[in-house]
Structure 1
Amino acid sequence: MKVRQIYASVLILSLVFLAGCSKAPVQEEETLHLIQENAASLPGDERADLWQDEHNTFDSYRLPDGTRLLTIYKTVGPANCYVAGTVSYNDLSESARKGIDGYYEKQGLLYDTEAELQKAYGDYLSCRENGTAYQERHVRQEITPSASNDTAVSFITTVTLPVNGQEAKELRLGAVFNRETGAVYSNWDLFSLSEDAARQWLLDAPGTVSPALRKEMEAALRPEYILLFPDHLEISYPQGTLPSQEYSYSIGLDYDAELLSVLQPWAVPDGRETADSTQ
């Protein structure tokens, strides 16, 4: 088995928001409108006001003195998100789009605005106590296509959450849908093995992890951590799911003969380059 990558990662916020789907990056001179005073209650009888940009692409929570506490970007996707070489939501039939819409409506937001506000304000108070500048926090959720073929189309939900004002963590969840009906598959259905056998195969595939880390991975593995891309399959463990790892941890597997032998033929994305073909 050829392992494409094994890595731990942390995001630097200056790089996080350079990419999106169909909406341009927010500019500092963007006109904001006050939507609600005292929209959020904070410790010590403090309040945060809710502001919104004129294009309704983000909500900005600010303290009465104007301090920008937290910006939450409106969820984008699955519509109007495009990835080169992959079928997009807009390319699908009405019935497929309806099924996909239903899935993501049920999924909803994968973050808690109130909790993020409380953490942001706690960070703000710490900075004030330490005499350091507070860095505004940002939250974003987007749904983008990741791979496709004649039978199925895959999407990834990416949630970017602040660790502090300069670092962020990502939660990435994969889902695979029937291209004609929009019905969602279990990600275990992608394999020709039973669920238990597929779990063990994925845990054994890297071949280089310690027994202790393998045990953590076995306990944490969820089917939605399996992500499909045109040239590899990835298992993405979010930050906090593996006790021994400080950051998120991902393993990428090339579509070589070993991986193809355990995947259903209909699950293999178009546009792949197998490891065998590049040798």
Structure 2
Amino acid sequence: MDQPEALNRIAFELGPITIYWYAIFIVTGVIIGLWIANKEAARKNLPKEIISDLILWALPISIITARIYYVIFRWEYYSQNIGDIIKIWEGGLAIHGALIGGVATVIVYSKKKNLSFWLLVDILAPSLILAQAIGRWGNFMNQEVHGGPVSREFLEILQLPEFIINQMYINGQYYHPTFLYEFVWNIIGFVILILLRRAKLKTGELFLSYLIWYSFGRFFIEGLRTDNLMLTDTLRMAQVISILLIFIAISLVWFRRAKKIEKPQTT
């Protein structure tokens, strides 16, 4: 039986410039997410340039913090390969690092523009989880963010298309397509968040719902992955952060409702 041939992670080349699928999927996620967020901002009667202006700051800062976060937990390698730190097209952007940079940017931006932080993150929440879902296909093209070894028969039982099964064949072994598990989980989360916009939630609770949904799924999916960023020899960093985010989000929902800090959103 012939060995499956992997898809080329390079989309195309323009002279000396190489465009990777990883970058294309990330940019696509950002563009679609921005379009959705702009529509919601308009529905909330915010100035049309608010979200676009915010993203101009939040996106590069989030990419930088996502990379810094990843490099810190892979410092044993990067300390010996300093030049590889800037090679983000090869993968290595941690979503929790991006969240830190993104949330910090929104805090500063909201204060500068005298806007509600919670309103802004509510507007961005569905776009964020959708962009994460789309971005996972960049990991797929790079043959990264996969789980442990499985058989081809296991992948066929999942009724996966042939191109996904073939791409999961890496160095003589098939692996769990954990990128796909998270893609599906995030798409379901996106639909739920869109539906929750119709509910009488308090301002900020849509974003907190995003944190709970994403973190719950990420905790279990992380347990299948083989490329974990480790806090200790036994503790996976993403699982620790996921539990912490779920606890913080639920606590904030309870506290803010108990104190009646925010009125329900109007739709």
Q: Which has the higher helix share?
A: 2
Give the TM-score normalised by the residue count of structure 2. 0.31
TM-score scaled to structure 1, two decimals?
0.30
Structure ID, larger Rg: 1
Bigger strand fraction: 1
